[in-house]
Every structure is written in structure tokens, then in C-alpha cells.
A = this chain, B = another copy of it.
Amino acid sequence: MQKTLETDDKPAAKLDFRTARDKYRHWSVSIDGPVAKLIMAVDEDSPFASGYELKLNSYDIGVDVELYDAVQRLRFEHPEVRTVVLISGIDAMFCAGANIRMLGTSSHSHKVNFCKFTNETRNAIEDASRNSGQIYLAALNGTAAGGGYELALATEYLMLIDDGNAAVSLPEVPLLAVLPGTGGLTRLVDKRKVRRDLADVFCTVEEGMKGKRAVDWRLIDETVPRSKFDERVSEKALELAALSDRPEGEAGIMLDRLERSVEDNEIRYPFVTVSLDRDGRSATLDIEAPGSDAPADVDEIKRQGVDFWPLAVIRALDDALLHLRFNEATLGTLIIKTSGDGDRIAAYDALLDANRDDWLVREILLYMQRTYKRLDVTSRTTFAFIEQGSCFFGMLADLLFAVDRSYMLDGQLDDRPAAEIQLSEQNFGTLRMSNGLTRLETRFLDDHETLGNVHKLIGKRLDAREALQAGLITYAPDDIDWEDEIRLLLEERASFSPDALTGMEANLRCAGPETLETKIFGRLSAWQNWIFQRPNAAGTEGALKLYGTGKRAKYDRGRV
């Protein structure tokens, strides 16, 4: 059944991020030894929502959900794959980018969420290449335009077929009056170091560039005659594979379909429950500690597969965040809680730490890192409530430093164990933010003394006063004040303008250095969001709306 895309008047169809290879409509995967081909052949008659066709390998959120799934599965299910070749399965077109009619008809909110998710997926591709030994190569066997070229820019090597036609281009500015906002502008100048004046030219030439000039300008790495294209792609793929440190002779673990039940006010996953408070406009994510002790060794982790507690939790958290972003826009506050035995988490942390060089453990930690980053850039207020019986230990303690504020109960409201938190080595290196720092380094920016003192607390159970003293939590209300304080906090937050909070949080969360990722989320996306609000792009006579109608957009000529 055809879904309806969210517009400014209509709510969105519910989006489900769970899929699997045998359900793909737009992508396929073929694996030959160390090389996987990830083949894009978008079914133009299967858009996510009605109202547009996915011509010319253009994409919408449905296409990108499959890409995200494919990238994840290659990492976990295929330890043997060392190079991933992104290639088109249709004739003469690699990818035409985001579907323009979809952009022209969807709501501001959908556009912003869609762009954020596509950015995260492209970052995940870079993460695979750089940290996971699964190196991506763009085999551009046809034109890569707009978001199609931006997808290619997320790979480490771009080969363009020389067939007299195929080109790379970023025609957003001249054609659509929007930005190449899926990392394109940033990756041109900051990743590929394209000279800024040449980048300016390139971004205003609708038809793009090809051949020697595209190589000279660093837009691509290589141009290859049609007759030699397949051979050269294979050769380069094997060359990149040789650089990889992926393991030999290991079996992958299957990402079985994530179990979940979605009720109106509750979503349940293994180890994660999301409670929705629609009147209070908040959602509470409750993470349960493992129900049994940590496995003895890495072999046992592999036997457990997706049931291995850290992986199960991260998969659930990832899905929950995406679900809330796309399907529950009015729940402006996310509350994170935990429950269970913290010592068990400490034992899981120790197990992960001791086996961090194992390919699967590395994948799990990288996935945790990506998911925590997804929380960082989620445009909702995030609070952590540290209550009795909670277990913000080690990898879960890092969530305390991801949220906007944390509240820890100083006292007893019932018979459960008093609230305690505990740090582990995970908080000091494994889980980095997009700015390249750990969350504690960002929290205590340039304050090496405090950071050193906090490091000494590893493995020590901290009560509310100790945690407050160490600067690890925001507030520690006592048992008399707790309920009132929490209630007032949530009411107050819900009374503020959601937009102002989004802007405020986006700025306060990102102290410290900047990277490609932070530039894409903080700078490029903010400008794109602004443009998405401007009549020149999104008005009834704006370029996005009129594209394909043959009518010319009318622009307000004032420069702002």
C-alpha cells in the first residue's frame, strides 16, 4: 500500500527503519571474495510515499533506509569484505540525488530529518572505510549528480567512466536554489581539498564536469575508458582490499530482524522500553542491564551474536531514536533512564575492552559510537534521570555526558538500591563525539586537571554527592524535592519554543574542535535548514516547488 509523505498540512506515514536484504527494492549486494558490490537500481515505481516517481536512480527516505541497512549488514555479516564498490545498476546514471519532487512536496520537518539521516549514513560509510577496514570505492558508471555525487564523496576513491557523457555535478544552487547539503560543500573543500574558487565554479555549473579537468580539480580520482572500466574497478577494489585489516576466516553475525512491539504509548525492544507521554510531550527510554553475566570470551560473544547485550541495546537505541525523530515530532524531550545491575555492565565493559582488537568487538564499539553520535545530533532536549536501581555504569555512563542535563537522586524513595554511577575506560577513549573528543573531554574542555581527577574515579561507585562534586552530573535533588523538581523541569522545557531549543542545543553540545562531521551537522545543515525556509527555494514560486513544471522560479533579489 502506498504511504503518504508528510507535507506541511499532513502528518507523515510511519517510517520503519527495519529491513533486510531480501526486502530491498532499490539496492542489491553481490560479494566476490573480499569485494562487495553495492548496486543501486532504484525502482522508480516504489517511492516511500505517493506523489513522485524515483526516476534516474534518485532517492527518498525509503531508498536511504535500505542503504543504511546494507552498510550495517556488510560490516557485521561480512567480516571477509574489505572493499565495497558503490555502483549503479541502471544505464548511464550513477545516481541523480535526492528526488526533487519529493523535496518540493514534503514538509520542512521531513526535509530536515531526511537530510540528517542521509548525512548520518554517509558518515557511517566514512566510518567503515576509516575505522572498520571496509573501504568504500565509488565506481561511477554514469553521471553522479547532486546527492548522487555527494554519496560518492563519502567514499575514499572516485572513478568516473569516460563515455563522453558521464559527469559529476552539484547542480543544487543553479537548478534548485538549495545547497548540496548532504555534506557536498564541506567534503569538497575540507575532505578533497578542492580549491575554494574552483569549488565555487563547480557548484554553479549545472552540467558538472568530467575527464581530465575533473581529475585536475580533485573532483574525482580517476577517469577510466568505458572499455576498461570493469577491469579497472576490480583492480582498484583489490588494491584497496589489500590495505584492510579485516580478519581472515571469520564468520559474520547475522543482524536478525530487530524485535519490537509498537503500541500507542509504548515501544518495547529487548532491553529497551520507550514510554511516550503525549500530554507531557516527552519520551522516556529505559535501558535494562543484562540479565546474566558477561560471556567468558570473544567466542561466546560471537555465539550470542545479536543477543549479546551491548549489541542488542545499541540496535534498540538506534531504532528508537530514528523512530522518535521521524514519527513522533511533538515529543520534544527524551529522558534516559537505566535499571539493573551495574556490576554486570562493568564486566561487559571489561570484556569489550580486553577484546577491542577483535573485528566484531570493534564493530560493536563503533556502532555504539555512531549511535551515541546520533543522540548528540538529535534535535530533542535530552535529560538523564539517575534513580534508585539504575545502572549508569561505563558505556551507559557515557549517556550522562551526551545529554543536555542529568539529575541524580540524593536519597531514598523506596527500597531499591541508592542511585550510583561508575566510570570505566570506555569513557576515556572508545566513545568519541563527532568533534573527535570523548564526551568527558568536551565536558571539561581544556581542563586537564579535572579530567585527570575524574580518571582516577574509574571503577569506583559514586553516590549523588560524589558525582556532583566531581562535575559528572548537573543536579542532585534530595528525595523530598525529587518529584517536584522533575515535574517542573519537564513542564518548563515543554513550554519553550521547540525551534529555539533546537538551535540552542545544537550550539551548546559542540564545544571544542570541529571536524568534517561537526561542520556538516552544525554549519552546512543549519544553512540548508535556513534555505529550506526561504521563499526562493520553498515558496509557491520557489525553485524546489516549480522544478519540472517548466516555469521559472521567482527570486527575491535581496541578499541577506
Evaluate contact between B560 and A498: CB separation under 8 angstroms: yes
Q: Which residues of B contact A198 (CB under 8 A)?
A: 474
CA distance A197 to B533 in the complex (A): 30
CA distance A186 to B555 in the complex (A): 33
The listed residue (B500, B527, B560) touching A507 by CB distance below 8 A is: B527
CA distance A503 to B179 in the complex (A): 7
Q: Chain B residue with minimal CB distance to A553? A: B497
The listed residue (B113, B185, B406, B502) touching A508 by CB distance below 8 A is: B185
What's the nearest-Cβ distance from chain B to residue A119, in Å? 14
Asked whether any CB of chain B lies closer than 8 Å to the CB of A177, the reply is yes
Evaluate contact between B529 and A497: CB separation under 8 angstroms: no
Evaluate contact between B193 and A446: CB separation under 8 angstroms: yes
The listed residue (B446, B501, B508, B558) touching A199 by CB distance below 8 A is: B508
Evaluate contact between A500 and B560: CB separation under 8 angstroms: no
Evaluate contact between A534 and B405: CB separation under 8 angstroms: no
The listed residue (B174, B179, B507) touching A524 by CB distance below 8 A is: B507
Summarize A's interface: helix, strand, loop or mixed.
Answer: helix
Kindly specify which of A81-89, A124-132, A228-236, A511-519 makes contact with the partner chain.
A511-519
Contact string against B for A residues 439-468, beta-carbon threshold 8 Å, 1 for contact and 0 otherwise: 000111111000000000000000000000
Evaluate contact between A559 and B332: CB separation under 8 angstroms: yes
CA distance A138 to B560 in the complex (A): 32
Asked whether any CB of chain B lies closer than 8 Å to the CB of A196, the reply is yes
Asked whether any CB of chain B lies closer than 8 Å to the CB of A98, the reply is no
Q: Which residues of B contact A519 (CB under 8 A)?
A: 514, 522
Asked whether any CB of chain B lies closer than 8 Å to the CB of A528, the reply is yes
Asked whether any CB of chain B lies closer than 8 Å to the CB of A480, the reply is no
Evaluate contact between A503 and B474: CB separation under 8 angstroms: no
Asked whether any CB of chain B lies closer than 8 Å to the CB of A189, the reply is yes
What's the nearest-Cβ distance from chain B to residue A376, in Å? 11
Evaluate contact between A527 and B526: CB separation under 8 angstroms: yes
Asked whether any CB of chain B lies closer than 8 Å to the CB of A201, the reply is yes
How many copies of this chain?
2
Interface centre among A196, A502, A534, A543 (most CB of B within 10 A): A196
Asked whether any CB of chain B lies closer than 8 Å to the CB of A108, the reply is yes
Q: A200-B405, A406-B197 are in contact. Are A185 and B507 (CB under 8 A)?
A: yes
Q: Chain B residue with minimal CB distance to A515? A: B514
- Count contacts on A: residues with CB < 8 A to the other chain: 90
Q: Which residues of B contact A507 (CB under 8 A)?
A: 179, 185-186, 189, 523-524, 527
Contact string against B for A residues 170-202, beta-carbon threshold 8 Å, 1 for contact and 0 otherwise: 001110111100000110111001011111110
CA distance A404 to B203 in the complex (A): 12
Q: Using a CB-CB cutoff of 8 Å, which residues 412-457 of chain A contact chain B?
A: 442-447
CA distance A199 to B405 in the complex (A): 10
Interface centre among A178, A404, A446, A500 (most CB of B within 10 A): A500
The listed residue (B403, B447, B493, B537) touching A497 by CB distance below 8 A is: B537
CA distance A36 to B493 in the complex (A): 43
Evaluate contact between A511 and B193: CB separation under 8 angstroms: yes
Interface centre among A200, A330, A444 (most CB of B within 10 A): A200
The listed residue (B201, B204, B518, B536) touching A498 by CB distance below 8 A is: B536
CA distance A224 to B534 in the complex (A): 47
Asked whether any CB of chain B lies closer than 8 Å to the CB of A499, the reply is yes
Evaluate contact between A499 and B203: CB separation under 8 angstroms: no
Evaluate contact between A505 and B536: CB separation under 8 angstroms: no
Q: 6 tightest CB-CB pairs across the interface, nearest first?
A: A177-B497, A526-B526, A514-B514, A189-B511, A503-B527, A185-B507
- 27 inter-chain pairs at a CB distance below 8 angstroms, sorted by A residue, are A112-B560, A174-B495, A174-B496, A185-B504, A185-B508, A188-B508, A193-B445, A195-B443, A196-B442, A197-B403, A200-B404, A200-B405, A200-B504, A200-B505, A204-B496, A281-B557, A329-B560, A380-B559, A497-B543, A498-B536, A498-B559, A503-B531, A506-B523, A526-B526, A526-B529, A529-B530, A530-B533
